[in-house]
Chains A and B, each alone.
Chain A
């Protein structure tokens, strides 16, 4: 276990190396590029247990990793923004194929107009592709979530996307601790699927299906995605037992026992929100930071358990739900809590679009305004 000062993308690449990934394909895009470069360096230096394929587009990236995953490899790639959008078709193929790919998506705004900075429009737009979606708020969380994502994805046979904010986390230098290789190996054993695309197993993968079989198949994926929530909670606890590290399960709430105001967000905003919650507490408001660690499956149950009756939930989205008030988290939080007996009050706002800075002072101000509106 060693402490180091490095970028979020370095934390990501170091964890991928430690996870003993068999196959990596990548295509550069800002702000993800340095992950691909670091992995290429590791491959060139012979430090990578697997192989590295530099392909010619993100569509080809996902086509290559999906195929390599079907062939039996533990696979990884990383992308951002337009790259993620370009993969969209194969994201559906990967989840439909039950291929446990892990991908880092360094969140960045989508065009037009062009913008290089962080918001969550890219990953939120992939909400219904059948991928698990994690969000990280720190370099340490990026590093640790790589292992968790592989563990869960390979267990439930659903691909996983690890999101973190471009530049804010990808390029900033912060301290984090790596893990001894034997601890990583204890948590994450080599990938040995029960079927491989290989003559020894045989089979035509992804054939045409009649409506009844297709619908049964896709419904199973939907059910298994919901069930993945329990697996994530369980494996996060297992990881904590092994390493002492905890970033939350589906969500993370750490504030005062008697909190009744909850500031809900995901990504780097959730780290800044800690300070906003403290500022509100100093004003006598019983506020808590509610970090969404997993966006898919949506942490509906965790949310219901975390919120007391008559709680006030303030939702901060770094995305826009065009044609609807606020952003995706607001919509989904309302939906998840609608049938509760308790009368949780919900308000929300979309902000930080295109990487606009979100200092704690601004978040505090917005939280107060939202609270005022709920009166």
Chain B
């Protein structure tokens, strides 16, 4: 574990908490964990847009909220357009004098359902218009809020309540689509690498235009692992190559550590099985006679993606 955090100083991160303790989220939930880091990087002069998700279901009931920044809790397919609307409204009001001071950072906190599926049109369009906000996708690879149904981000083989025999198709790659929309800034991040995530959020804040950050967010109840293992799963995903860390600016891609070293073969990947065996959603594979073939297929997919990204990095 220590190699993931070495040379970093958590002490530099502010004590400011965007999330008030006592949320309705499950024990070990990756959403408030990620949002706390986002809050530290962006500060309180921020406005958050949320769509239906665990992060909304765990917010508390009116008149209470667990979030200490202004929040627009809007409809499922609305994130891209609503964040754009707020951002432009702020611009107009700062111009005509109805508001003064520094423009608050507008950001969304949306799950993979709201990003990959029902909200995709609005996100993609905001990216194309280069609207000035940060879109965060906290990707827990399923519709966890409604009880763990498949999403466009659910990996192949994973069991959800709507793929009881395991998902048959490959997941989408929305961060890559964002890279190819050549937006101002796109990054993937992991909870196991909090300072990498923090740096990326700070960088996104400093850039004008559309920014997209996708945080890999292992979900205990959804993936069926212990509440204490959220970070361990996030770490194994990166070390096995199941989740790649990279960032891009206007289409220029940079692979981040340790993904870069893993892809270049300068560091061995962790055994994928170590990652899979902690997750109940892959238990049917691990018990199956086709286990070896399935793991081999997954590894070959990882290798293909790493090779693709190494080549893409040269463009």
Direct contact between A and B judged by beta carbons closer than 8 A: yes
Whether B59 and A204, one on each chain, are in contact in the complex, defined by CB atoms closer than 8 angstroms, is: yes
**Residue interface mask B94-108, A partner, CB < 8 A = 1:** 001011000010000
Inter-chain contacts of B90 with A (CB < 8 A): 71, 198
Chain A residues within 8 Å of chain B by Cβ, number: 46
Q: Quick check: which of B73-81, B163-171, B210-218, B295-303 contacts chain A, the rest being far away?
A: B73-81
Residue in contact with B74 in the complex, picked from A23, A49, A67, CB distance below 8 Å: A67
Residue in contact with A72 in the complex, picked from B99, B121, B129, CB distance below 8 Å: B99
Q: Report Cα–Cα, A206/B77, bound state, in Å.
A: 15
Q: Report Cα–Cα, A68/B99, bound state, in Å.
A: 13
Inter-chain contacts of B67 with A (CB < 8 A): 204
A-B contact count (CB 8 A): 163
- Known A55-B81, A67-B49, A70-B72: A210·B61 in contact at CB below 8 Å: yes
Q: Quick check: which of A56-64, A299-307, A358-366 contacts chain B, the rest being far away?
A: A56-64
Confirm or deny: A84 has a beta carbon within 8 angstroms of a beta carbon on chain B: no
Confirm or deny: B125 has a beta carbon within 8 angstroms of a beta carbon on chain A: yes
Inter-chain contacts of A200 with B (CB < 8 A): 99
- The interface centre, meaning the residue of A22, A51, A71, A192 with most chain B CB atoms within 10 A of its CB, is A71
Chain B residues within 8 Å of chain A by Cβ, number: 48
Q: Quick check: which of B40-48, B194-202, B268-276 contacts chain A, the rest being far away?
A: B40-48
Q: Report Cα–Cα, A176/B161, bound state, in Å.
A: 61
Q: Report Cα–Cα, A66/B56, bound state, in Å.
A: 19
How distant is B181 from chain A, measured CB to nearest CB, in Å? 13
- Known A23-B88, A51-B88, A199-B46: A60·B96 in contact at CB below 8 Å: no
Q: Report Cα–Cα, A71/B44, bound state, in Å.
A: 16
Whether A207 and B70, one on each chain, are in contact in the complex, defined by CB atoms closer than 8 angstroms, is: no
Inter-chain contacts of B61 with A (CB < 8 A): 207-210
Confirm or deny: A256 has a beta carbon within 8 angstroms of a beta carbon on chain B: no
Inter-chain contacts of B77 with A (CB < 8 A): 59-60, 63
Inter-chain contacts of B49 with A (CB < 8 A): 67
Inter-chain contacts of A208 with B (CB < 8 A): 56-57, 59-62
Inter-chain contacts of B85 with A (CB < 8 A): 23, 25, 53, 63-68, 71
Confirm or deny: A90 has a beta carbon within 8 angstroms of a beta carbon on chain B: yes
Ordered nearest first, which 3 A-B pairs have the shortest CB separation?
Answer: A64-B85, A60-B81, A63-B78
Residues of B within 8 A of A (CB): 44-47, 49, 56-57, 59-65, 67-75, 77-78, 80-86, 88-93, 96, 98-99, 104, 121-122, 125, 128-129, 131
Residues of A within 8 A of B (CB): 22-23, 25, 49-51, 53-57, 59-61, 63-73, 89-90, 93, 190, 192, 196-210, 213
